[in-house]
Amino acid sequence: MAGPRPLIQTPAARLDWSRPSAPVATDFNDIYFSADGGLEETRTVFLGGCGLPDKWAGRPVFTIAELGFGSGLNFLAAWKAWMQTAGPRQRLHYLSIEKFPFDKKQLTQALRAWPELDALSARLLENWPGRVKGIHRLNFGPVTLTLIHDDVSEALNQVDGLKADAWFLDGFNPSENTEMWSAEVMQGVADGCAPGARLATFSVAGAVRSALSGAGFTVRKMPGFGRKRHRLEADFPGEAKALTPPIDKALIVGAGIAGRSLARALSARHISFDMIDAGLHPAASGNPAALVKPRFDLQDRPESRFFLSAYLHALRAYPETAVISRGVRQIPKTKKEAERYKKLAAQAPLGDDQLRWENDSLWIDEALVIDPSKLFDAFEPRRETYETIRRHAEFSHVFIAAGYGIRALAPDLGFRFSRGQLSWAEPVWDRPTAYGGYAVNLDGAALVGATHDRLDDRDPFELRPEDDRKNLSALAEIVGRETSPVDRQSRASVRVTSRDTLPVICDLGQGHWTISGLGSRGFTFAPLLAEALVAKICNELGPLDKRLRLKFSDPNRLSL
């Protein structure tokens, strides 16, 4: 069996712009949309073909899935129709699979053709993940876009919890692109259907019709749009059912970044919740600054794709008001590490503009330094313990997002705990810098973190002068000179990790769930993990590769 491949971006879409406003895919000898009336065509073939917007009337959650995101015209047309017709509590999931995503420049150019969609196009462009491989979750208020940047067959294996009410098949012409219309792919489409789903496509090719019939659809030819004689509609058997969230009332235990991310995912679904935090111990979310930067892996594995997707999702999740600064420099500690960083920059899994090797360092240009207090100001949790609230309130779902608190609340799980102390020194660099530890300037001093020690029998939260010395000497080793301490209060908290260092989102039984094992990457992982956990409980389309979500959900992993 071949070993893992390097993680690179998806292949670029090769476009010919010589026709006015209609890009042509040179590899497929086909257009993305018709220059005369592409938007009308989308509305007739795909929206109209699937009976939209009528079919989503009154549905709390409606899911559209598409093969071939291309320029995003179908998505934008659906989004616009949704905003014009859906009620304020309804939500739309839109999944699209694309092997050759446009880069931002190509997308900008293509979308210029539709001034009517300008406002929505601008929001899509602002959030565009470029050609980064994997699954991307983009939230636009009531509309959630999930993009899978991969080949159709691979993508259909990864998709988690898809039960589409409508399918848009928009691969290029089947004669030029057979793999997008194979019987296996059509079976995958059928497997991703909700009962009573409706499918639409421009192609009436015999092979497409028979593959769809073979997968259980009832197919009919309809009058086509413009110069095309026909289009296709197909019905999946069964009766459409309204999907309502099964959570009556949720309790979130812990008001750190995991709890806040859960609150965001629940609020987006109009699910009410209480949040408690007894403030029993200092949590890492209470640090004066938090880094949002990716974990990198050279090889293409579901985990490494998740590290990038979670990072990109987190960048979009935090409001500008909480951002202290953008851009983090990563200094290698050894020659071997330098070689790895160089290789990484050359592989460019995040795009050339986001990772650079320069001045013997890796520069992660969009990585964030966040001020957690600015994020948390808006909502005060109740100062209560889980034990007391249980005595007077009932909840259908309890989310344990308690950091170190998991040790007491779920003592049987095999988590590992390590102490981390932060110290202060005189500033050494202008830019936030990571080197195993990290140094970030705040109000004229550098916050230097963090130690990493297994818990011993002393109080894990006591401040230890020897740990301040450890932090400063690790910094001195990188800078090449001693740095002076600054007289500000150090801080200690406890990281929770699993043996394989991957996070945990699991069912603890009896209506209890947890997000845990975030290690020192809480601010990077929590927004996407919360979205994954809440989507799973609500039987909605998830944002993770299914295989990985199953791994993250398996508590037995912890005791291996």
Binding site for ligand SAM (CB under 6 A): 13, 32-33, 68-74, 97-100, 151-152, 170-172, 177, 179-180
Shortest Å distance, C-beta 200 to ligand SAM: 12
Collapsing DSSP to helix, strand or coil, 73 comes out as: helix
What is the C-alpha to C-alpha distance for residues 121 and 250, in angstroms, rounded to an integer? 35
Nearer to ligand SAM, 68 or 503 (CB): 68
Shortest Å distance, C-beta 70 to ligand SAM: 3
What is the C-alpha to C-alpha distance for residues 370 and 288, in angstroms, rounded to an integer? 9
What is the C-alpha to C-alpha distance for residues 219 and 233, in angstroms, rounded to an integer? 6
Shortest Å distance, C-beta 230 to ligand SAM: 17
Nearer to ligand SAM, 200 or 322 (CB): 200
Shortest Å distance, C-beta 97 to ligand SAM: 5
- Would you call 304 exposed, middle or buried from its count of C-beta atoms within 10 A (0-12, 13-18, 19+)? buried
Measure the CA angle with vertex 143, ends 142 and 146; round to 5°. Answer: 140
Side by side, the strands of the sheet bearing 250-253 are: 273-276, 250-253, 397-400, 512-516, 504-509
Nearer to ligand SAM, 176 or 248 (CB): 176
Other beta carbons within 10 angstroms of residue 435's beta carbon come to 18
Shortest Å distance, C-beta 38 to ligand SAM: 8
Shortest Å distance, C-beta 182 to ligand SAM: 10
- Asked if 40 contacts 129 with a C-beta cutoff of 8 angstroms, the reply is no
Nearer to ligand SAM, 97 or 312 (CB): 97
Nearer to ligand SAM, 199 or 534 (CB): 199
Q: Which residues does residue 545 pair with via DSSP β-bridges, in sequence order? A: none
- Asked if 140 contacts 83 with a C-beta cutoff of 8 angstroms, the reply is no
- Asked if 448 contacts 472 with a C-beta cutoff of 8 angstroms, the reply is yes
Nearer to ligand SAM, 147 or 528 (CB): 147
DSSP 328: E
Shortest Å distance, C-beta 61 to ligand SAM: 22
Written as one string, the DSSP assignment of 472-508 is: HHHHHHHHTS---B-SS--EEEEEEE-TTS--EEEEE
Shortest Å distance, C-beta 258 to ligand SAM: 34
Token readout for 20 is 């006015």
Shortest Å distance, C-beta 27 to ligand SAM: 8
Question: Most distant CA pair in the chain: distance in Å?
Answer: 80
Nearer to ligand SAM, 40 or 337 (CB): 40
Alpha-helical (H) ranges within 348-491 are 372-376, 386-392, 406-409, 465-479
Nearer to ligand SAM, 170 or 467 (CB): 170
What is the C-alpha to C-alpha distance for residues 287 and 403, in angstroms, rounded to an integer? 13
Shortest Å distance, C-beta 114 to ligand SAM: 10
Nearer to ligand SAM, 47 or 434 (CB): 47
Nearer to ligand SAM, 13 or 132 (CB): 13
Phi, psi of 559 (to 5 degrees): -100, 5
